[in-house]
Amino acid sequence: MQAPRQIVTPFRPIPLDVPEGMKPNEFFNSTENLNDLIHNNGLLINLENLVMYRKALGHSNEFDASIIYNTSQTILNPLGRPVRRTQVPAVVKNVWNRMNQIVIEYMLEKYPDPGEHLVLAGEASLDATWSLTSPGVPSIRMLHNHFIVFPQNTLEKAEIADDNNPNLTDGGQHSLFQAYLRDVYRNFFDHALDLQILKPADSSASCLKLTGYPQGLPSWEIQGGVEALKKPRFWKEYDLILKGFLDFYRTFFTQVSTRNAPMPKQAYFPEHIEADLLFNNDFLKTAKKVRDHCITDAKYANSIRWQPAFKQLIYRNDEGKLIVTISQNSVGNAITELLGVVVNRKPDAEAYEKSEPALIEKLLEVRGRLIEADLGEGIGTDYWGKD
C-alpha cells in the first residue's frame, strides 16, 4: 500500500540536565550543550568549525550522522548564527561540500541497492526570525545537515502514518505554494536558474513508490549520479536551487505582509522576480488571500514563518537515480518527513545498544575517509578513540 510510514527508533536517554528556568531548546543552543555533544558524540572536527557527530536522538540506527557548523563559541547570539548554506563563508562551504560528497559517496557504496535501503542527505534550516521558545524552532540553531539510511524492510513493515499528521503537510495538496502557486513556482525556477547538471524531474521519477512522497514538489535529477557530486559546478547549482527558493519565499511573504511592497532587498534574481512574480496575477491574488486571512485570524497569522524556512534534500529514488528537491518547512517537521517517513523516537537503551556497534563501525569508517582527505581530525569519546 502506498502511504507514509511511521517507524519507531529507540535511543539511549541523554543524561543532560537543563538548568532550572531554561526551556530545553534554549539550552540546546548554548555553548555548554555543544561541548557536551562533541564530548559524547563527536566524530571529527576541523579548523573551519565543522563538526561531524553521531545523532544521539537519531532518525535511524542503521546509519545516522550530522555535520554542524559550530559557531557557538564565535557567535554567542543564537539568533545571529548561520542557518543556511548561503550564509556560510566560501572557504567553509568548500570544505562542507567536500565532506558532504565523501559521506554521500560512502553511503551509496555501502548501500548500493535502492530496493534494500533508502538513502538521503540534506539540510533543514530556517532564518532566525522566531523567539527560541516558539514551537518548531530547531533545538540547535546552527546550520547542520543529516545523513540517513533506512532499511526498506523496516519501512515496509512500519505502520501507516496519519495523512493529517502536521509533520506531513508541507507538500502536495497541503502546501500553500503547491495548492495555489504550483505553475508560478515551477516557472520561476525554470526561468531563473541556469542549470547544467541538474535536470528537472517529473513526479514519477521523484516520488517514492512506497510512501508516495515527496508530493508535488519541484525536483531535479543529478545527471552523472554520485560522480557529479565531485564537481564544484554541482554544488553551485545546489545553491542556485536554494537561492531561487529564497527569492520566491521572500517575495511572496513580503507581498502578504504589505500590499504592493517593493522587491525584497538583496534578491538573487531580481529580473525574474519582476517578470514572473510581481506582474503575475495568480501570485498577487494568492498573497491577498493569505493577507486577508492573517487580518482576521490571529492564530493563523502567528503560525506564519515570515522569513524563509526550508528543507533541501538529496536522495536516491527507486530507480537508483539521485534527486534534489526543496520544500518550505512546516512546524516541527523533520527532513525525513519530506519523503513520507515519520520517526517516533523512543527511549530504550537496551534496544539501541543492540544496533550501536554496527552503527559506530560505519561512522568510524566514513570518518577515516574524511581524515584521509584532510577534512579534519578524529574526536575521542567514551565510546570510541580519536584515531
My answer on whether omega of the bond before 357 falls inside 30° of 0, hence cis, is: no
pTM of the model: 0.93
- Mean pLDDT of the region 157-165: 88
Band (pLDDT 50/70/90 cuts) for residue 172 is: very low
The C-alpha cell 519541484 sits at 218
* pLDDT 10s digits, 186-209: 999 999 999 999 999 998 899 999
- At 342 the pLDDT is 92
- At 83 the pLDDT is 85
Q: Which residues of 114-146 are buried (b: 16+ CB within 10 A; e: fewer)?
A: beebbbbbbbbbbbbebebeeebbbebbbbbbb
Band (pLDDT 50/70/90 cuts) for residue 174 is: low
Q: Above 90 in pLDDT, residue 364?
A: yes
- Cα 7 to Cα 344: distance, rounded to the nearest angstrom: 6
- At 134 the pLDDT is 62
- Cα 46 to Cα 49: distance, rounded to the nearest angstrom: 6
* pLDDT 10s digits, 73-130: 888 887 788 888 999 999 999 999 999 999 999 999 999 999 999 999 999 876 655 5
* pLDDT 10s digits, 230-241: 999 999 999 999
- At 173 the pLDDT is 43
* Residues linked to residue 117 through DSSP beta bridges, in sequence order: 151
Q: Above 50 in pLDDT, residue 256?
A: yes
CB neighbour class for 47 (10 Å; exposed up to 12, middle 13-18, buried from 19): exposed
- At 78 the pLDDT is 77
Helix (H, G, I), strand (E, B) or coil at 177: helix
Q: Above 70 in pLDDT, residue 137?
A: no
- Mean pLDDT of the region 314-343: 87
Pairwise pLDDT comparison (299 vs 381), residue with the higher score: 381
What interhelical angle do 182-192 and 232-257 show, nearest 10?
140
Q: Above 50 in pLDDT, residue 142?
A: yes
* pLDDT 10s digits, 286-316: 999 999 999 999 988 877 778 887 889 999 9
Contact 102, 67 (CB under 8 A): no
- At 81 the pLDDT is 86
Alpha helices in the chain (DSSP H): 24-27, 31-41, 90-110, 152-157, 176-180, 182-192, 203-206, 232-257, 270-272, 281-296, 298-303, 349-372
